[in-house]
Chains A and B, each alone.
Chain A
Amino acid sequence: MAGLILRRLLMVVPVLFGVSVIVFLVISLIPGDPARAILGTFATPANIAEVTRQLGLDRPLPVQYIIWVGKLLHGDLGRSYILHKPVAEEVMERLMPTLLLAGTALVLASIAGILLGVVAAVRQNGWQDKLITVTVLIGISTPSFWLGMLLIFWFGVRLEWLPVGGMRELFGGGGALDTARHLVLPAVTLAAVAAAVLVRLTRGAMLEVLRQDYVRTARAKGLTERRVIYVHAFRNALVGVIPVIGLQAGFALGGAVYIETVFQWPGIGRMLVSAISTRDILLVQGGVLVVATAYVLINLLTDLAQGLLDPRLRDA
């Protein structure tokens, strides 16, 4: 296992390097003068000159990159000239709510998706399977932002069961319970699509695994179907499902952009949307970099989880 951890950690390094290059290039791809773009429409020539010098925009690209990475390693992501505060500070403030939302959604989606997927496979062609299949079809065809609006309308406005938005600080005034109440609707909305994908995948993986020779061996030993399905088949199916949970983490982190907008959740997604409309490029850059890094690390975790489950990966 130690070998696997080391190998995966080493693999993360070039990926993070690649991510940083792509994020860095965002600035240089801006048509026209990046300094002007960063400062917005009210930039004075003096401001522009200062930003150009600060970011080294007058130097060759590789040098710019090195300067940028150097600052990055010191936690300096530049300054938002719209919000008048350091990008790193704003991004870090917004990161926790997003991770909480996406993490909760991912856990919900994994539990629901795997559970329903197994049920659908075990009851293949039964009414449970048909019901689940139709629900999944609707799930992957529903725009999450619309689903969010519907939930707000029914549970927030009509039934008044749950708050519909207005979270400002995670653990501010209301305490953890208040946070949890605010979290329910957005997390469920965000989980819906990911769950649908995981149901499909788990169902397919289970059906595939249930045809394997070792399942026949398990049955030939006289083991109960319960043990055949949940010990022999399920574990093997899970090996194929876990990397997709990692993939879904990416969709959840991205989908959070919609959900945070619909539910006015104070996360990075909503920050990014407003930063794009105010053309606050450095803030966009910082936000994308941090979320992408989080995503890379989540995938590292799912890789390791897969290794825990499958001894063949540990030794390979």
Chain B
Amino acid sequence: MSATAAATIAVAAPAGRGAARPSAWSRLTHNRMASIGLVLLGIIVAIVLAAPILPLAPPNVTHIAQRLHAPLTPGHLLGTDQVGRDILSRLIWGTRLSLAVGVFAALAAGFIGSVIGLLAAYRGGLADTLLMRGIDMLMAFPYLLLALAIVAVLGPGLLHAMLAIIVVNVPFFARGVRGGALSVVRTDFMAAARLSGLSDMRILLTELLPNVLPGIVIGVSTTIGWMILETAGLSFLGLGAQPPQADLGGMLGEGRNLLQVAPHVATIPGIVILLLAIGINLVGDGLRDVLDPKLKSGGLARFYPVTDAAPGAQRRRGLDLPGEAAARLPLALRGLRTEFRVGRSVYAAVGGVDLSIAPGEAVGVVGESGSGKTVTALSVLGLVATPPGRIVGGEILHHGEDLAGASLARLQEIRGRRIAYVFQDPQTTLNPLLPVGEQIAETIRRHQGLRRAEAMRRAIVLLDSVHIPDAAEKARAWPHELSGGQRQRVGIAIALANDPELIIADEPTTALDVTTQAQVLKLLNELRRQRGAALLFISHDFGVIAELCDRVHVMYGGRVVESGPVAEVLGRPRHPYTQRLLACVPELGRRGPPIAPIPGLPPSTDALPPGCAFAPRCALAEARCSAGDIALLPVAPGHAARCVRVAA
């Protein structure tokens, strides 16, 4: 399909250099559908290539006496047509012709379109405008109609039909290639190539073309099938191949009037076109999957409504029974382990986290990107994307009830009602097509069973309480009409809507500018205190945690490395990582040692070192740090750290 092909070119182009590595072929043959297509296509191509040496009757010699024999007649495997020609022979020669025309037309349209697209993107300015407006004009015509007009001018004939099909397909390629090329033209390495004084031709061929080539290959391969159908169509109408020569479409056209007497004359070439097109489309789709990085990783798998979890018995292995106290807690994570399986690697994003929150308490989780803090937060209500996420170990206790094993229906009762979220980026976490008032009201309706008007009235009260001016007015606004700060206030209003006992806020202010951050944080904290809600606050910013939270957990490599009352952890950090992290927090008005960034990078959770994950970056590391598992040991009342030096 040309339209989708054009879109794919644009998508695939940024694949960049080397998207087609040698393994592309093996990936293609490992794709079941694509290999079916390859086999199908291989058989058809082998037969038509062998046509001259096969013992076939001459395709165009008529035998009126032998007209309209049914298939399986001796001497005529597929029967004869209305003038006694052997259908099998005509079919093979016709397929040869159709295939050749389709492949050539796709290549020609791909080539011409790519040249236009590349030139337009590379030259830019007036050339681009003129070329693309011309393309727009051509695309303003219904596809086939333009082809008909061209045939009308040039007169019927296979060559003219093919030309017409090429012309009407050029715009799709030109547009797609231009789109793909533009994203490359605007990159730094293109600017560097221009500055280095390379000739335009050289830049086009050696820099630009390799980047858009995968897209062009996808475009051509997904278009060949379409081209064959279209040229067959023109021949069917009598505007393409002229008798006695016949392509598949021409044979179909001849069989049309014999439908009642001899249905096989029209049916057989139709089946061959179908098989040919299926083969080509399968291979084309397979190629797209292989060459398009977006689809390659299986990126388009649908997320389940709830995170997959291992069976309870398996998750609780090695876990003692929860204490009586757990029944009073809005949240108690016990040995939580959440993994992502991508291909053969397993990422242990959360590797055994213990964390509990008392009613009304504010608990912070702090750590770098990739420390597992967000995955911990999302695991609570089963919002980690599955696939690839899975809760493989531990319990998530909400008043003693294990949410990791809870049904979707039960989770839906708790989500937004008992435990509510405030997400990171209000730009992407609000639905762009619903008015913000509606997005608040729907969660009220869901959990409190209120009528639409009453829910909306409460939504407006909530908007007012998060200090959005003209709340009644703004309730009807779309997310894009609000500022970032206002959008996050809406996010907070959504979280507060059903007076939850726990709010999980995942870096709620990271996407906002600094002054707005402070206001939004203050608001969040005030409102949750008024309503007595507990808070689980995720942040990479120690300063913010210090202001908001009673206790803090420091995460590194998917595990808690230190936890305790905020003042205690801030004042006497015991884990070297915490110490280094605190050294990174600038303090206004205090003279001290310059900020010391931690050398190295956090470990990837698919290859965590044994023992302390921080050891490779730690200045104080010893041999025993990497010897084996290190426990989280108490260092003071309520304060614990996971470090060998603590145990000593």
Contacts and interface: CB of A to CB of B under 8 A. Distances in A.
A124 B154 CA distance: 48
Q: How many of chain A's residues touch chain B, expressed as a range?
A: 35 or more
A204 B300 contact: yes
Contact of B478 (A207, A217, A312): A312
Interface string B115-152: 00000000000000000010011101111111111011
A284 B242 CA distance: 21
Interface stretch (A23-31, A57-65, A108-116): A23-31
A144 B141 CA distance: 20
Contacts of A315: 480-481
Interface string A126-143: 000000000001101111
Interface in A218-277: 218-225, 227-228, 231-232, 235-236, 239, 244, 247, 249-251, 253-255, 257-258, 261-262, 272-273, 275-277
A18 B137 contact: yes
B461 interface: no
Task: Say what secondary structure dominates the interface of chain A.
Answer: helix
B153 A152 contact: no
Interface stretch (B184-192, B317-325, B416-424, B589-597): B416-424
A292 interface: yes
B149 A277 contact: no
A288 B138 CA distance: 12
Interface stretch (B12-20, B301-309, B575-583, B626-634): B301-309
B137 A254 contact: no
Given A21-B137, A227-B442, A312-B432, A140 B236 contact: no
A275 to B, nearest CB: 7
A108 B172 CA distance: 26
Contacts of B411: 222
A214 B431 contact: yes
Contact of A26 (B149, B236, B277): B149
A232 B147 CA distance: 41
B252 interface: yes
Interface string A44-58: 000000000000000
Given A30-B153, A138-B278, A142-B274, A222 B414 contact: yes
A143 B142 contact: no
A295 interface: yes
Interface string A142-177: 111110011011000100000000000000000000
A217 B508 CA distance: 13
A107 B550 CA distance: 60
Contacts of B274: 138, 141-143, 146
Nearest to B497: A221
B149 A296 contact: no
Given A220-B421, A262-B256, A275-B152, A141 B278 contact: yes
Interface in B281-333: 281-282, 300-303, 305
B547 interface: no
A310 interface: yes
A308 to B, nearest CB: 11
A300 to B, nearest CB: 11
Given A220-B415, A254-B144, A210 B302 contact: yes
Contacts of B305: 219, 225, 228
A273 B239 contact: yes
Contacts of A244: 3
B429 A217 contact: yes
A66 B407 CA distance: 72
A213 B413 CA distance: 20
A288 B148 contact: yes
A239 B415 CA distance: 28
A250 B143 contact: yes
A217 to B, nearest CB: 5
A21 B411 CA distance: 62
A178 interface: no
Contact of A220 (B138, B383, B480): B383
Contacts of B456: none
Interface stretch (B43-51, B81-89, B258-266, B343-351): B258-266
Nearest to A247: B3
Given A26-B152, A146-B252, A277-B238, A222 B428 contact: no
B467 interface: no
Contacts of A100: none
A220 B381 contact: yes
A299 to B, nearest CB: 8
Contacts of B144: 251, 254-255, 257
A215 to B, nearest CB: 8
The 10 closest A-B pairs by CB, nearest first: A254-B144, A18-B137, A141-B277, A222-B415, A146-B270, A222-B416, A221-B416, A250-B142, A221-B443, A253-B142
22 contacts: A124-B302, A141-B277, A141-B280, A143-B233, A146-B274, A150-B270, A201-B4, A214-B431, A216-B423, A221-B420, A222-B411, A222-B446, A223-B446, A236-B432, A239-B433, A247-B3, A249-B142, A251-B142, A258-B236, A276-B151, A288-B146, A292-B140
